[in-house]
């Protein structure tokens, strides 16, 4: 059996138990035989046990059986509910399964092109495992020629369909964590120079109070209140901008949301993209900054 097909079957089983569990093998098979992957043949208990074992090795997911009911369930579901790599992997592979089961509709399923950057991703992951610094050529949009960089790769982040490696530089008093986009990197190589991160280092913690990829340490986290109007208030409610989002107040056609976050360039860009559908209520400094950016944009149109 091809590896790709085998992984699809593992993912299908994991997704089924995660969404429908506790569930018996009999009920799993009722769903299984309806898929193209099954070929109309039930999954044997021996095959089920093999797949269950493979899921432990691949995702670290423990599938247990309640002997009182003979139903299977995920013993550590929290790992799939957090913003974890296992959750991301499962989501991506589940979508692949769904699309794979609908190949006859391929001309009616439209996907975005996401740069994969497999070689660069693999190199930085290897560097983090080895705890060795990486050198590469990097060209900013404003540069005419690329410049050589030496960085300490502390983590990797995907944001707005772009991969970034984050450099850890505690000697830099202004920017300790600096992002570098994969698509602007060329000739990367792992050096012989090793590094050690702080014992309490956590990638989640360094982005805890930030939105996006940039961590401006000059901007301290603060309480920000925005007012969303019309359908935008529902959109923000369903797709929170940040984990700290809370509803402060609601009116007939608006909702006030509060955040505890750094007013970074990425967060400001997100607010500006919403146009007149939101209004920054506080702090005054951020309100004035958003106002000034909107006025600047309006003046460009007045010149036409």
Q: What tens digit of pLDDT does each residue of 192-213 get? A: 999 999 999 999 899 999 999 9
DSSP string, 208-248: TT--SS---TTS--EEEEEEEETHHHHHHHHS-SSTT-EEE
**Mean pLDDT value of segment 69-97:** 72
Residue 275 lies in a domain: yes
Of the CA atoms within 13 Å of residue 35, those in its CB half-sphere come to 21
Do residues 200 and 235 both lie within one domain? no
The CATH number of the domain where 269 resides is what? 3.30.70
Provide the 8-state DSSP code for 276: G
Decide which of 1 and 77 is more confident.
Answer: 77
Q: Going edge to edge, which strands form the sheet with 222-229?
A: 246-250, 254-261, 222-229, 278-282
Where is mean pLDDT largest: 93-107, 160-174, 272-286? 272-286
Q: For residue 169, what pLDDT is reported?
A: 92
Do residues 78 and 39 both lie within one domain? yes
Mark which of 87, 108, 129 sits at the end of a domain.
108
List beta partners, residue 288: none
Q: Whole-number mean pLDDT of the chain? A: 87
Query: 230 CB contacts (<8 Å, ≥6 apart)?
Result: 253, 277
Residue 217 lies in a domain: no
Do residues 182 and 228 both lie within one domain? no
- The position carrying tokens 């190949």 is 103
Q: For residue 14, what pLDDT is reported?
A: 85
**Inter-residue contact 86 to 74 (CB < 8 Å):** no
Asked if residue 2 has pLDDT above 60, the reply is no
Query: 300 CB contacts (<8 Å, ≥6 apart)?
Result: none
Mark which of 147, 177, 206 sits at the end of a domain.
206
Asked if residue 80 has pLDDT above 80, the reply is no
Rounded Cα distance between 137 and 221, Å, is 33
Please, which pLDDT band fits residue 94 given cuts at 50, 70 and 90?
A: low
Do residues 155 and 65 both lie within one domain? no
Q: For residue 62, what pLDDT is reported?
A: 84
Q: For residue 83, what pLDDT is reported?
A: 59
**Inter-residue contact 8 to 100 (CB < 8 Å):** yes
Give percent of the chain above pLDDT 70: 86
**Inter-residue contact 139 to 145 (CB < 8 Å):** yes
Q: For residue 251, what pLDDT is reported?
A: 93
Residue 170 lies in a domain: yes
Over residues 122-146, the pLDDT tens digits come to 899 999 999 999 999 999 888 889 9
DSSP string, 243-264: TT-EEEEE-SSEEEEEEEE---
Do residues 47 and 94 both lie within one domain? yes
Do residues 98 and 20 both lie within one domain? yes
Rounded Cα distance between 197 and 217, Å, is 19
Tell whether omega for the bond before 58 is within 30 degrees of 0, i.e. cis. Answer: no
Lowest mean pLDDT of 98-102, 219-223, 283-287, name the range: 98-102
**Mean pLDDT value of segment 278-287:** 96
Do residues 17 and 78 both lie within one domain? yes
The total of structural domains in the chain comes to 3
Residue 212 lies in a domain: no
Do residues 100 and 137 both lie within one domain? no
**Of 272, 251, 255, nearest to 263 (Cα)?**
272
Rounded Cα distance between 66 and 278, Å, is 50
Do residues 36 and 86 both lie within one domain? yes
**Inter-residue contact 236 to 228 (CB < 8 Å):** yes
Residue 216 lies in a domain: no
**Mean pLDDT value of segment 145-168:** 93
Residue 211 lies in a domain: no
**Mean pLDDT value of segment 209-219:** 89
Q: For residue 43, what pLDDT is reported?
A: 92
The CATH number of the domain where 11 resides is what? 1.10.10
What are residue 124's phi and psi, to 5 degrees?
Answer: -70, -35
Asked if residue 1 has pLDDT above 50, the reply is no
What tokens were used for 24?
Answer: 């018996």
List helix spans (H) across 60-208.
78-81, 85-100, 118-130, 203-206
Q: For residue 3, what pLDDT is reported?
A: 46
Residue 266 lies in a domain: yes
Mark which of 150, 172, 206 sits at the end of a domain.
206
Which phi-psi region, left, alpha or beta, contains residue 295 (left: φ > 0; alpha: ψ -120 to 50)?
Answer: alpha
What tokens were used for 198?
Answer: 């702080």
Do residues 227 and 187 both lie within one domain? no
**Mean pLDDT value of segment 260-269:** 94
Residue 215 lies in a domain: no
Decide which of 80 and 252 is more confident.
Answer: 252
Rounded Cα distance between 289 and 282, Å, is 11
Q: For residue 132, what pLDDT is reported?
A: 96
List helix spans (H) across 107-212.
118-130, 203-206
Asked if residue 175 has pLDDT above 80, the reply is yes
Do residues 45 and 71 both lie within one domain? yes
Please, which pLDDT band fits residue 279 given cuts at 50, 70 and 90?
A: very high
| Domain range enclosing 136 | 118-206
Over residues 100-109, the pLDDT tens digits come to 666 666 677 7
**Mean pLDDT value of segment 38-57:** 88
Do residues 70 and 46 both lie within one domain? yes
The CATH number of the domain where 183 resides is what? 2.30.30
Rounded Cα distance between 71 and 160, Å, is 39
């Amino acid at each position: 059996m091809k590896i790709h097909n085998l992984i699809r079957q593992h993912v299908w089983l994991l997704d089924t138990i995660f969404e429908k569990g506790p569930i018996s093998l009999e009920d799993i098979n009722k769903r299984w035989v309806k898929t193209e992957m099954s070929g109309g043949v039930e999954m044997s208990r021996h095959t089920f046990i093999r797949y269950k074992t493979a899921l432990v090795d691949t995702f670290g997911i423990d599938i247990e059986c309640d002997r009182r009911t003979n139903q299977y369930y995920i013993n550590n579901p929290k790992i799939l509910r957090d913003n974890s790599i296992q959750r991301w992997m499962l989501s991506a592979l589940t979508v692949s399964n769904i699309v794979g089961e609908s190949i006859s509709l391929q001309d009616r399923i439209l996907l975005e092109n996401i740069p994969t950057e497999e070689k660069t991703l693999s190199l930085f992951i290897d560097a983090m495992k080895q705890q060795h610094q990486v050198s590469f050529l990097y060209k900013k949009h404003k540069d005419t020629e690329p410049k050589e960089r030496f960085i300490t790769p502390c983590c990797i982040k995907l944001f707005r369909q772009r991969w970034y490696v984050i450099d850890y530089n505690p000697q830099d008093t202004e920017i300790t964590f600096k992002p570098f986009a994969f698509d602007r990197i060329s000739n990367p190589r792992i050096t012989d120079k090793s590094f050690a991160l702080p014992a309490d280092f956590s990638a989640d913690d360094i982005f805890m109070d930030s939105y996006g990829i940039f961590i401006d340490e000059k901007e301290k986290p603060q309480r920000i209140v925005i007012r969303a109007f019309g359908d935008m208030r529902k959109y923000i409610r369903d797709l929170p901008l940040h984990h700290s989002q809370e509803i402060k107040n609601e009116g007939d056609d608006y909702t006030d949301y509060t955040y505890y976050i750094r007013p970074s360039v990425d967060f400001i860009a997100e607010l500006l993209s919403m146009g007149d559908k939101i209004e920054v209520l506080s702090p005054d400094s951020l309100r004035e900054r958003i106002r000034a950016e909107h006025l600047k944009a309006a003046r460009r149109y007045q010149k036409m």
